Amino acid sequence: MVYQYIVGVVLASLLGFVLSYSFRSGKKITATRASMDQIKRNGFVKTLENSTCGPEIAGSTTDVIIVGAGVAGAALAYTLGKDGRRVHLIERDLTEPDRIVGELLQPGGYLKLVELGLEDCVNEIDAQNVYGYALYKDGRNTRLPYPLENLSPDVAGRSFHNGRFIQRLREKATSLTNVRLEQGTVTALLEEKGTVKGVHYRTKTGQELTAHAPLTVVCDGCFSNLRRSLCKPMVDIPSCFVGLVLENCDLPYANHGHVVLGDPSPILFYPISGTEIRCLVDVPGQKVPSVANGEMSQYLKTVVAPQVPPELYNAFISAVDKGNIKSMPNRSMPAAPHPTPGALLMGDAFNMRHPLTGGGMTVALSDIAVLRDLLSPLRNLNDAYSLCNYLESFYTLRKPVASTINTLAGALYKVFCASPDPARKEMRQACFDYLSLGGVFSTGPVSLLSGLNPRPLSLVLHFFAVAVYGVGRLLLPFPSPKRMWIGARLITGASGIIFPIIKAEGVRQMFFPITVPAYHRSAPPDH
């Protein structure tokens, strides 16, 4: 087949190109069962025994302070607690969150849940199995299944209400006697001579306290007010998600996420319970039409509704009329840490990507597994400087999974958005047609998106294979100067999309992590 020949040639030649580019552009690292009734009744699961005795908690009672009990914080608390660490988990609000993101866990993320012993947290919350995607464009659609054939039958994506999942994680964490969950607002990190010794926080009752621990992990989410002292936050907000819940309807492809390549940008549908379907409408830019004056309703009915699959149209209009419309800025932030003795950033406080591909929780759970493995050999964490130097390897060891998912999310979003540019239009169409070919052309990209194949080089090769496929469509059967020009601009545009993302991720860490000195650091001796 001519396409296989074209792809084969480009894969071979591109490998050499990526290798040479990587060496030129490499850069350094700059581096929680308590019952739900109890949570609702007390506002926290476990209080600190001497929280009423004074403004300070004895440091000897805690090994790790975790700020934030969302997905990352609660999962980390359980993981470290299971390893015997004494964990103090502080969360601003212990009521069940109500968010429109963090609702889809990819199969790779589910495998990390299993690895961490948290797979039962998707039980009893009406979570739905997800087996792949359906992609829609201009009246055509194609099904993209996850490559799950050689995996255990329980392995699949999971979609759910984010708040229900978080509450289950909190229950799981506090099932351990050495994990203490407290409701409180961390106001600042406690620093002494450049080393983080703990946190200042305010309890639910307004009492100002200080907690000490040799290691503080900040997991306070995308709105983190602590990240600035631990990293260089370069937050980009390319768009906003507008969220609706569709009821009493069925997806065209059961147990699949649906992505509509709409104009101006993608529209997503996926189940979050047995009777509810989440719809996320991407609105480019940082401002969305006003809900209060009816602009949003008008926009959804006139611009978005005509592009919705017919099977979902009536439910979509009903959801708009119901009026429970929420919005959320879509943030992207590459990991740019300042290695700081006594502290570590994780989760959305540390690294974010466009939520189009639903990869955030997979990255966070993978990071937790990496950190667990690094800390496992250590009996104590008291040597802050040695620990900080050792944990610099975390930033490199996390790269295969994190950089693959981050890069794919950013690149796919740009490709999936509509554009008046003929080259961008061709790239968008080429992506849809390439994925529609099936076989390796479908399973390769989907395995990357699902977190089942975290290989950055494979991502780059597939991305440029799409570009070359698009050029081949332009030049066959007979090229013309105009088509050749569009083809050249297509390749240039593809490079302009993916290479800045790769540069921000770190070329050396992404493609050649073994060459980074921190990769080889051994655990410091215990004292």
The answer, yes or no, to whether the previous bond of 339 is cis (omega within 30 of 0) is: no
Q: Determine the pLDDT at residue 518.
A: 87
Residues 289-297 have a mean pLDDT of: 95
Give tens-digit pLDDT for 387-423: 999 999 999 999 999 999 999 999 999 999 999 999 9
Largest CA distance in the chain: 83
Residues 6+ positions from 323 with CB-CB distance below 8 Å: 291, 297
Band of the pLDDT at 523, cuts 50, 70, 90? Answer: confident
Whether 56 has a pLDDT exceeding 90, the answer reads no
- Give me the DSSP letters along 346-385: -GGGT-B--GGG--HHHHHHHHHHHHHHHHTT-S----HH
* Architecture of domain 64-125+160-234+334-382 in this structure: 3-Layer(bba) Sandwich (3.50)
* Architecture of domain 237-332 in this structure: 2-Layer Sandwich (3.30)
Alpha-carbon distance 441 to 434, whole Å? 6
Q: Determine the pLDDT at residue 477.
A: 86
Give me the residue spans of the domains in the chain.
Answer: 64-125+160-234+334-382, 237-332, 407-513
Please state the pTM of the whole predicted model.
0.88
Give the chain's radius of gyration (CA, Å).
24
Q: Determine the pLDDT at residue 320.
A: 97
List the structure tokens of 368: 């937790």
Residues 271-283 have a mean pLDDT of: 98
Give tens-digit pLDDT for 234-267: 999 999 999 999 998 999 999 999 999 999 999 9
Residues 6+ positions from 434 with CB-CB distance below 8 Å: 441, 465, 466, 469, 470
Residue 384 identity (one-letter amino acid): A
List the structure tokens of 420: 């008046």
Residues 59-86 have a mean pLDDT of: 93
Whether 181 has a pLDDT exceeding 50, the answer reads yes
Helix/strand/coil percent split, the chain, to 5: 45, 20, 35
Residues 443-472 have a mean pLDDT of: 96
Residues 6+ positions from 59 with CB-CB distance below 8 Å: 197, 198, 211, 212, 213, 214
Give tens-digit pLDDT for 413-453: 999 999 999 999 999 999 999 999 999 999 999 999 999 99
Whether 20 has a pLDDT exceeding 50, the answer reads no
Q: Determine the pLDDT at residue 1.
A: 39
Average predicted confidence (pLDDT) for the chain: 89
Class of residue 524 by CB neighbours under 10 A (exposed 0-12, middle 13-18, buried 19+):
middle
Residues 271-285: b if buried by 16+ CB within 10 A, e if exposed = bbbeebbbbbbbbee
